[in-house]
Amino acid sequence: MIRISALQMQTAGPDTAANLARIEMAARQAADAGATLLVTPELGVTSYGGGAALLDLAEPADGPIVLRLGEIARQTGVAIVAGFVETAGGTIYNSAVHTNGADRPSVYRKSHLYGDYERRLFTPAPPATCLFRHRGMTVGMLICYDVEFPENVRRLALAGAEMILVPTATPQGASGTFIAEKMVPVRAFENQIFIAYVNNIGRDGAFTYAGRSILTAPDGSALATAGLSEAFLTADIEPGLYDQCRSENTYLRDL
């Protein structure tokens, strides 16, 4: 069993120092709650809605943002998944990093960009199977729109992922509500895995976010949910509790 926390976060716009301070506060809160992993929203360090200003905030995976996240993880004992604008080889990506402050960080780059806004700013990465180990569990990462394509989740599940972490910036509206409340639990059920879908909240540039973050189990049930305000969620991830569900719904074996 591992305990994870999620921060449904109102960013301070492209003020990376303020956003990192908010993540640090949440990491300390997660440690106090006994959690060993904290998941934060899509581009939560740099903000999602900053537009062209985000390009000036882009950093490599070994830059100050990731180094600071690693320091926070090391100081608190809580591994962190956070979104940032990454530059690599002259290319700009919408990325998420996992760091525990000790091992080499794992970086995932969004493969399915949503709308003209993202396509103007970022380059889509080839679909990738980004996995890391956390307290004996195999964990994968996707970003927002990626999870809406069943092939992405299935690819990670077939590669051995037991849980997928999904930083997101889903906008407010009927579709955002449907994705969080219906689609994400189905993705968990049809692959018999855990999913943490962690959204921004409030207004950021031209965007108002749907919130409704959810930590969902292999049987499609919600372990923890958020509403329409900033929220801090914590849930216990106990794979053994879902052995019967997995034995009855053998999608991966029967594929």
**Which CATH number, 3.40.50.980, 1.10.4080.10, 3.30.365.10, 3.60.110.10, labels domain 2-254?**
3.60.110.10
- pLDDT digit string, tens, across residues 175-189: 999 999 999 999 999
Enter the tokens of residue 118: 């993202």
Residue 103: CA count within 13 A, CB half-sphere: 15
Asked whether 177 and 20 are in contact (CB, 8 A), the reply is no
| Amino acid 161: pLDDT | 98
Asked whether 197 and 96 are in contact (CB, 8 A), the reply is no
Residue among 144, 128, 121, 143 nearest 58 (CA): 121
- pLDDT digit string, tens, across residues 115-169: 999 999 999 999 999 999 999 999 999 999 999 999 999 999 999 999 999 999 9
Catalytic-residue membership of 182: no
Domain spans in the chain, listed from the N-terminal domain onward:
2-254
Choice among 130, 144, 148, 162 that is catalytic: 144
Catalytic-residue membership of 118: no
Choice among 24, 59, 86, 110 that is catalytic: 110
CA distance 128 to 152: 8
Catalytic-residue membership of 151: no
